Amino acid sequence: MAIRKFGLTFNALFEKWMFLIIPGSLIFGFAFERVLGPYVSAVPYLFAFVTLTMAMGCGLAQLRGVMKRPGIMALTFLLAHVLSAGIAYAAGAAIFGPDSPYVVGLVLFTIIPLGVSSVLWVGMSGGSVPLMLAMVVLDSLLSPLVVPAGIHMFFGKAVEVEAGPLMLDLTILIVLPTVIGVALHQWSKGRIAEQTKPIAAPVSKLCFVSVVALNASAIAPYVEDLKHDMAMLVPIVVVLVGICYAIGFLFTAGLRDRETQTTVSYATGMRNISLGIVLAMGYFSPLAAVPVVLSILIQQPLATVHHYVLHKLNNNKAGESMTTHVR
């Protein structure tokens, strides 16, 4: 009982302060690069556990539910992986040149799967958690096709990446743990996520921050040489992440469905950053990882801002409805 209480309390506190913990783990990785460096090889295993834990909360019923809304799913994936990728490429190429590894990193941020942490923000902001969770799972399953195709679409042969090994790694890192997680959900009739939460959820959170810290330690030796680029790169990443949130919100405004609008705006705004760093470090120049790393510092704080904006809009709308009703 004590372990259960401690685990749930730890998980709740982590989620509450996640917008500070994630950037803090990044800084920790930079500060202790020599200590953490030897453990970087553990990242794929840590990441696979995070994915498995996420997938255990989703079953075939949620996936079928998303399939009944193909328009929302298609719109979300187009906004997240096509429109935002086009904006990232255009902005990066205009400032750094089309052959810059920074441009690869900016595009990579937009074509990696939707972020697992978006499920938490959707829940806190009044969106549809089942819809968000199912879209994260489906997008993760599609990642072995989406990521190589996105890189080829924007860079062609200018960026050499072996599609076969990349797809295999994505299958091992994302698809296999996702399939196992969904299978466990079905086998337990949906009970496994709740039953294992006191232990699995805190361990998953620790694995997540470990992935961020370890990858930060891996790129730390290169960051010292990039100070002259940061003045240009940081504002671009801030604007790009902000645009990703905005396009999801704006393109669903016509639906007049605040729950769906909230869900899609977080889906298009948040990415699986830890996977992005793994891919950037494994298949591209370390410089390509820099925009992805910067997005860690920006994505969670902007999620907080987005949550505040949504809260204000919901309150204003409720106030207007009440005024109209009184009249």
Residue 315 pLDDT > 80 = no
Residue 40 CB contacts under 8 Å (≥ 6 apart), including other chains: 214, 215, 217, 218
Res 16: pLDDT: 79
CATH number assigned to the domain covering 2-326: 1.20.1530.20
Domain ranges of the chain: 2-326
**Number of helices (H) and strands (E), helices first, in the chain?**
17, 0
- Cα gap 147→322, rounded to integer Å: 47
- Cα gap 170→160, rounded to integer Å: 17
Cα separation values, 320 from 167, 253, 316, Å = 50, 17, 6
**What is the distance between the terminal CA atoms of the chain, rounded to a whole angstrom?**
53
Q: What is the pLDDT of residues 244-290, one digit of tens each?
A: 999 999 999 888 888 899 999 999 998 887 778 778 777 777 788 88
- 7-34 burial string, b = 16+ CB within 10 Å, else e? beebbeebbeebbebbbebbebbbeebe
Largest alpha-carbon pair distance within the chain? 68
Q: Is 162 left (phi over 0), alpha (psi -120 to 50) or beta?
A: beta
Beta-ladder partners of 271: 114
Q: Return the SS3 of 271.
A: strand
Helix (H) or strand (E) holding 49: helix 43-55
Q: Which of 49-53, 196-200, 276-280 has the highest mean pLDDT?
A: 196-200
Residue 294 pLDDT > 50 = yes
Instruction: Mean pLDDT check: name the lowest of 4-18, 52-66, 115-129, 154-168.
Output: 154-168
Res 50: pLDDT: 80
